Amino acid sequence: MRNVKEIMEQLASIAAHPEEQKSAYLAAGRKVVLTAPVYTPEELIHSFGMVPMGVWGADLELKESKRYFPAFICSVMQSILELGMKGAYEGASAILIPSLCDSLKVLGENWKYGVPSIPFIPMTYPQNRKPVYGKAFTKKGYLRVIAELEKIAGEPFDDKKLAESIEVYNAHNACMREVAKELGCHPEITAKERSAVFKSAWFMRKEEHTKLVEELLEALKEQKKEGEKLPIVITGVLADSPSLLEIIEKNGLMIAADDVAAESRQYRTDAVKDENALDSLAQKFCAMDNCSVLYDPDKKRIPMIVDMAKECGAKGVLVVLTKFCDPEEFDYPLLKRACEEAGLFSILVEVDRQMENYEQAGTMIETFREMLSETK
């Protein structure tokens, strides 16, 4: 049996080298379909035996994408296009982009001209997803995606295969929920290691990732919980910047739970049995909540974060705001106030994928740590 360190090293390597994963899958004869943030019907891609690989951009300098995007579009979209234009995704059969925020809508339109070698498959989700007509429209959207995937795969869609894929994804969800909880009790695990557990999931077939994470869970249970850190909740679209994670570590903070779009938000909702697998998958999206890109006039996400902090014993919420992400920016004032009312400290650190100087973020997180220490 491998120990935590060994498994973590493998996860970190996968998280850091998605291009190697892509090449390996392609070499093994599997087709790869890219999936853009925030939610896509990955199970559909999986049901065709193809590999969905998440694209959330990367920390790199923007050059080519500036021909398409003005500066005030978030760096996630900008860097996805930049990577596409530079050929980083070559070999992929298509990219699936949902229209869940305004910047995603324009990513799809620009993609068609910026990266013509990789076809764009749009996924139009309904925002009014709770009524019956919302589910019907989701299903129609999935049928449109299926039609495109059939062309790539060269075979017809099979609802039974989708049912099997849904099982794979539900099992992965459960596993990720469990590991998130377990990691929150291990101060000896670094923020960087924790991030790799989530990030690697985007670059692997889910059954393979589940196996690795299950192995990690076993090893974690065997490992002695060591060290002392201040538990926090982290929220945002992304929190994978190595510099940011180092600052969190340096300040003795432990991510006890997260509301990060690229991390735990992905694994909250399972598909449940329905008339058929496609309906089940449509219903899964309609059941989703507590995310800045999903319509909710009750703003349930805000009390959910507060409750999350209380449950895991965190005294503070670290808001990692991706610059120009307006869905998150709109939620922030309400979250800040809710934290104050609940006696929680909150701090906002604005990041983008071109950020090189983390000095200000460092100072802010240091102050945050001091505030938390005082209430310990």
CB of 319 to other proteins, least distance (A): 10
Q: Check residue 267 for interaction with other proteins (CB under 8 A).
A: no
- Interface positions, 195-254, toward other proteins (CB under 8 A): none
Asked if 267 contacts 173 with a C-beta cutoff of 8 angstroms, the reply is yes
Q: Check residue 128 for interaction with other proteins (CB under 8 A).
A: yes
Nearest to 356 by CA among 62, 17, 13, 63: 62
CB of 14 to other proteins, least distance (A): 32
In the bound state with other proteins, the residue whose beta carbon lies nearer, of 27 and 71, is 71
Q: Check residue 336 for interaction with other proteins (CB under 8 A).
A: yes
In the bound state with other proteins, the residue whose beta carbon lies nearer, of 55 and 77, is 77
Q: Check residue 18 for interaction with other proteins (CB under 8 A).
A: no
Near other proteins by CB under 8 A: residue from 193, 279, 331, 352: 331
Q: Check residue 73 for interaction with other proteins (CB under 8 A).
A: yes
Q: How many residues bind other proteins (CB under 8 A)?
A: 52
Q: Check residue 329 for interaction with other proteins (CB under 8 A).
A: yes
Near other proteins by CB under 8 A: residue from 58, 62, 136, 171: 136
Near other proteins by CB under 8 A: residue from 10, 124, 243, 276: 124
Asked if 156 contacts 73 with a C-beta cutoff of 8 angstroms, the reply is no
Q: Check residue 67 for interaction with other proteins (CB under 8 A).
A: yes
Q: Check residue 174 for interaction with other proteins (CB under 8 A).
A: no
Nearest to 127 by CA among 99, 96, 97, 107: 99
Contacts of 146 (CB under 8 A, 6+ apart): 44, 157
CB of 330 to other proteins, least distance (A): 4
CB of 191 to other proteins, least distance (A): 25
- Interface positions, 74-103, toward other proteins (CB under 8 A): 99-103
Q: Check residue 327 for interaction with other proteins (CB under 8 A).
A: yes
CB of 349 to other proteins, least distance (A): 13
- Interface positions, 285-304, toward other proteins (CB under 8 A): 292-293, 295-299
Cα separation, 241 vs 114, in Å, equals 26
Nearest to 212 by CA among 245, 179, 181: 179
Q: Check residue 125 for interaction with other proteins (CB under 8 A).
A: yes
CB of 326 to other proteins, least distance (A): 5
Stretch that binds other proteins, among 26-34, 54-62, 127-135, 254-262 (CB under 8 A): 127-135
Residues that bind other proteins (CB under 8 A): 67-70, 72-73, 99-103, 105-106, 108-110, 112-114, 122, 124-128, 131, 133-134, 136-137, 140, 292-293, 295-299, 321, 323-324, 326-327, 329-334, 336-337, 348
